[in-house]
A = this chain, B = another copy of it.
């Protein structure tokens, strides 16, 4: 996607009311050339008042670049699956916890105001190794907190999660790390994305990762497909009376710059296709 389209897309999401966006990944440009403009994209996003500008960083080198670019928040993918850890970041899980510690030290010494979250990848199962024991997920989450991370979320990288498991694991996460319990990052690979978000919401989760048009996946998790569709997620919560702060009509309009920047890429979303229900009014509009 051309840099100009990324900027337009971020602005459109901001205009719809989104106030935290993972705008880029600071990863080696030779592996993921589509992220080579990360610093420029961050610079643009920093111009939008009140927006928390977040970037994904897989290691200290990426964190250093992201901090230099001025991000407000770092998100680190830490695999619960041993096999996915090697495939995704070329480190064992133990080596990755050491890396998290280095990122925290870097932040402490150079930009103490920056928040750090870890997202536990393959927390609900792994396409490479299959089952991921829940004890290991919780142990890795606790290790992240011990390493100095402010917030730990659980990611269903592979679309394996089910609502009973989501409830069980977020309950255990909260019991283990309390208020440092973070976002639910669900994929819709088997159609359960929204049901899993509902289950997480039932357990007190209030931060949800999603992507416009359901874009996404993971280049190093075979078979991983798109994230939960932001439009459908916002529709679900707003219809339930849970205020998201997002104007769903403007959110749907933000698909235009996305499609302009990625012509031919499939853009998903049931609510944008079906349209809003007759007479639908958002809580925020009624207030």
**What distance in Å separates the Cβ of A197 from its nearest Cβ neighbour in chain B?**
8
Interface majority SS (helix, strand, loop, mixed), chain A: loop
On chain B, the residues within 8 Å of A225 by CB distance are 274
**What distance in Å separates the Cβ of A212 from its nearest Cβ neighbour in chain B?**
14
| From A191, A229, A274, residue with most partner B Cβ within 10 Å | A191
Instruction: Flag if B191 contacts A229 (CB, 8 Å).
Output: yes
| From A125, A126, A274, residue with most partner B Cβ within 10 Å | A274
Query: Chain A interface (Cβ within 8 Å of chain B)?
Result: 125-131, 158-160, 162-165, 188-192, 194-195, 197-199, 223, 225, 229, 232, 235-236, 239-242, 269-271, 274-275, 277-279
A-B contacts, 20 of them at CB < 8 A, read: A125-B278, A129-B278, A130-B278, A130-B279, A158-B277, A159-B274, A162-B240, A163-B198, A163-B240, A164-B239, A164-B240, A164-B241, A165-B239, A189-B270, A189-B274, A190-B235, A191-B269, A192-B235, A192-B239, A198-B199
- 18 additional A-B residue pairs with CB within 8 Å, beyond A191-B235, A192-B232, A195-B236: A125-B278, A130-B277, A130-B278, A158-B277, A160-B277, A162-B236, A163-B198, A163-B236, A164-B240, A164-B242, A165-B239, A188-B270, A190-B270, A191-B229, A192-B239, A195-B197, A198-B198, A225-B274
